[in-house]
Structures are given as structure tokens and as C-alpha cells.
Amino acid sequence: MSFKLLHYDVIEPGLCARCGVCAGVCPTKAIGFDCRSYPRLVGKCTNCGYCNHSCPGAEVDFNALSKELFGRNYDPHSLLGTQEQMFVGYPTDEAIRREGASGGLTTGLLAYLLKTDRIKGAVVIGHDPDKPWQFKSVLATSREQIVSAAKSKYCIVPSMSVLADLHKKEGPFAVVGLPCQVHGLRKIAAVYPKLANKIKYIFGLYCHYNMEKDAYLNALKTSGIAPGQVAQFQFRGGGWPGGFWAKLADGTEKMLHPSILYKDVMSIMLRLYGAERCFMCTDAANDFADLGMGDFWATDYKKPFSELTSCTLVSQRTATGRDLLNSAVDDGAVKLYELPAERYSKRILNYCHEKKIEGHANLRRRRAKSLPVPDYHYDLPAINVRQRLTVEFYRSTRLLRGPRRQRVATHILFSPLGSILNQINQLRKKLFLGLEGN
Ligand SMILES: Cc1cc2nc3c(=O)[nH]c(=O)nc-3n(C[C@H](O)[C@H](O)[C@H](O)COP(=O)(O)OP(=O)(O)OC[C@H]3O[C@@H](n4cnc5c(N)ncnc54)[C@H](O)[C@@H]3O)c2cc1C
């Protein structure tokens, strides 16, 4: 059981999610990363097998996890996963709310846990101080660090590598992760319980797909900004809900797509730059986190929810998540509104459905061609003709992949022509998806 095995079983066959868990569990800190964030051996491997056994790249037993966490089999048809309740909410600290991607609830809860001494720190993603246009995972141990790491980073960052800093530290800690990262965190419990027991709270971000970092680097270049000029880059900067935004070294701030909403830019960019491994993932709402955190779009709703702009959607899944939310509400740190099942967001259900059918179709297609696939330990649901056509439509966007085509498409998207094409696409969505009426 060595890093070599991880290399041959996971990295080489294209199953590595680049979550960073392997580096995070390695007791000798022998695993580093190449420039595309793939793990590589940088020290001496002691053949302990921790990296192999906790890696979520080739195998995650969804059924076993579901039984362990919720006492029931995994249901591949459930779009939002097992949840006790769903809420829309925000932290009462307005400064934190303003900093957040959706409503700042994730950051607000982390700050609350730290303030009430329930955690010693949190694994989050901040900016690389040496290269401010890049992102770096950090074990945040102060409110300032937690708040400055707010907002979504839609690019691959193997942030679980920071778990390596937890080995010799006293817990408990909180960790924020994408679904693949949470799969790895849950696997650690069986492999390295001493480390897993230090992680008390797992915050999972909903995740359609994540992107290669070329996505924002090309967006910057096409907007005439060299990475070296950037003092800070945000995917959700420039005020809620934000967008690709850069602050330059001379203090100038620039929104790279002033007339297109971030979510509409993202839906195209994900197709252009989505990481290949993400298209084999079927977990959209972070089904195994204590709390799943997503975007809440008040504009899709009628009253009273239409008034809840700048809020986060929360899937409360476990007792740990429930206790945390209850005490944060009681202490006045957050405000929550229960979202009844009949008013679940159509937009969120649509994207979860899309991710699942696309994941299932891709897994089936790859299996049929004897290509490597991750094993989630459940029977893949059948895909009907309508779903197959939808998946094929999305697959056709792969024609735009390849460095030159990606650059041209990005150029168009971030130009006035992109804005016109976006308006046509919005009309299509309004007519065919019917998102309003929640
Ligand atoms: C790649 C990606 C895809 C997403 N896709 C969707 C989607 O399709 N639909 C949807 O509803 N929501 C999606 N989200 C979640 C959404 O963008 C918000 O992160 C979520 O709603 C929480 O908002 P918040 O204001 O409470 O978070 P904040 O208070 O801003 O806190 C976010 C926390 O997450 C950490 N973080 C940011 N990026 C990452 C990352 N890449 N990996 C690990 N930790 C990170 C930050 O450091 C911070 O601690 C996605 C997020 C990411 C990063």
C-alpha cells in the first residue's frame, strides 16, 4: 500500500479529484502537488496505505456512508440527499454577511464556533499571499482569517492537504469541503480515526462542477489583465451576488462581465473548463456533510422568501448540524427560515437532477467502453431517452474544449456579444425551464 498504488489506481486512470486528502493524511508529509494540483511524491513513502484507503477518487461506498450517518440505504434518486430540514438563512453580523458568497452563513457559523470555543480552527481557502491571484488552503484560527477566506473559489484547490497540520494539534476543528472532499473526510474515519475525531463539523458546499484554473486566468487575460497586476481575484466579488472580479495592484476594481450575472457566466464556464473527474461525480448537494450549503435565489420566489436576498440555503443533515444551527439561532448569531418541501428551489432541484443524470450517463458510457470509473457502490439508475438527449446536448459543448477554442469562447463570453447571447439563453431558460413560481 504505497503512493505508487495511488498513482496507478487513481491518478493515472484520471480518477483523482484533486481534493488533497492523500496529502492531508500522509503521516510523513511525503505528498505534494504538481502545477495542475495532481498529487506527487515529494518525500519518503512509508507504505502506511493511509492515502490509498482515504482517497475518494476510485471508490466511495455511498450505501455504507448513508447507513452510518442516516441509518438508511443511499437513494440515488433523491436529488438533495437525506436531510432533516432545509433552511434559508444568514449571519446576524452584517459585515460577515456582506463578505459571503451567498449569504455568508458558512463563514458566520465558523466564526460563531470559534468565538464560542467549540473549535480551535477551520480548514478553509484563502488567497496565496505570494501570488494574490491564486488560492491557498489554510487552517484559520482567528476570526479575521475565517472572514478573509469567505466566498466560493470555483477552481481546483487540493485544500484537504491542510489536514496534515492537524496531526499534532489539539482539536476540535471544522472543515469546509466540496462533495469529493467530504467523501474523503468520511473515509478517513475508518482509516485514521485519531485524525477524523479531531474534525467535529463538516460543512459541505453544494457543487455542480469545479473548474480548472485556466478558467479565471483566461477570463483575466481576455479582459486585458495580466495575473501579475492582480492584487486580489474573486469569483464572487464586487457586491452580491458578485462575479469574476479583480482588484488591481493600483487599487482599480474591475468586474469582468458587468452585464451578465455570475450564475449565467458560470453555467458556460463550467462547460468550458469543468474538471473531467467532476463529470463522473453524482453528489450535487454534498449528501454526506453535516450541513450542505448552497445558493438561495430569492428572485425565483414569491413572498415571503422573495425578500430573502443575500442568503444561504442549508441542508441540515446530521444531529451535529442540527445542534449547531439550534445553538447559533438561540445565541442570536444567525437567522434561519425553514423552507418547506413544497417550496424547495426549482433551480437547485434542476441542477441536482442535471448533475446526477449527467454523472450516471457518463459512468455508464465509460463502463461500456471499459474505461476506469469511480465505484459508488450503488446500482446506476437507468437513463430515459429524454435524459439521454439532454446529456448528449451537454456533451456536445465538449467540442469547445481545447486551449485555443476555450480561449476564443471565453473571449466571446466576456465581450458585448456574450452579453447578447446570454440574453437569448435567458429567454430559452424562462420558456423551457419555468424556474419562477416557487
Ligand atoms: C466549486 C463550487 C461549486 C459550487 N456549485 C454550486 C451550485 O451549483 N449550486 C449552489 O447552490 N451552490 C454551489 N456552490 C456553493 C456556493 O457557491 C456557496 O459556497 C454556498 O452557498 C455557501 O455560501 P456562503 O455565503 O454561506 O459561504 P461563505 O460564507 O462565502 O463561505 C464559503 C466557505 O467555503 C470555503 N470555500 C470556498 N471555495 C471552496 C472550495 N473550492 N473548496 C473548499 N472550500 C471552499 C471558503 O474558504 C469559505 O470558508 C459551489 C461552490 C463551489 C466552491
Compute the distance between CA of residue 209 and CA of residue 213 in angstroms, rounded to an integer. Answer: 13
Indicate the pLDDT class of residue 432, thresholds 50, 70 and 90.
confident
Q: Which H or E run includes 394? A: helix 385-396
The half-sphere exposure of 38 on its side-chain side, counting CA atoms within 13 A, is 14
Angle between helices 214-222 and 403-413 (to 10 degrees): 50
Angle at 337 between CA 261 and CA 150, to 5 degrees: 50
Burial class, 386, CB count within 10 angstroms (exposed 0-12 / middle 13-18 / buried 19+): exposed
| pLDDT of amino acid 437 | 52
Is residue 434 pLDDT above 80, yes or no?
no
CB half-sphere exposure, 302, CA atoms < 13 A: 5
Q: Are strands 199-205 and 291-295 parallel, antiparallel or unpaired?
A: parallel
pLDDT value at 325 more than 70: yes
**Residue pLDDT, tens place only, 265-306:** 999 999 999 999 999 999 999 999 999 999 999 999 999 999
53: cell is 484507503
- Please report the pLDDT score of residue 85 as a whole number: 98
Reply yes or no: is the peptide bond before residue 403 cis, omega within 30 of 0: no
Ligand 1 pocket: which of 105, 161, 205, 354 to mutate (most atoms within 8 A of CB): 205
Q: What is the mean pLDDT of residues 122-129?
A: 96
Of residues 295, 312, 154, the one with CA closest to residue 235: 154
Whole-number Å distance, alpha carbon 264 to ligand 1 midpoint, is 16
Q: How far apart are the first and last CA of the chain?
A: 51
Ligand 1 pocket, residues with Cβ under 6 angstroms = 100-107, 124-125, 149-154, 157, 159, 176-178, 205-208, 210, 293-295, 312, 348, 351
For ligand 1, atom 37: residue with the closest CA: 152
> Which of 61-75, 133-147, 251-265 comes out lowest in average pLDDT?
251-265
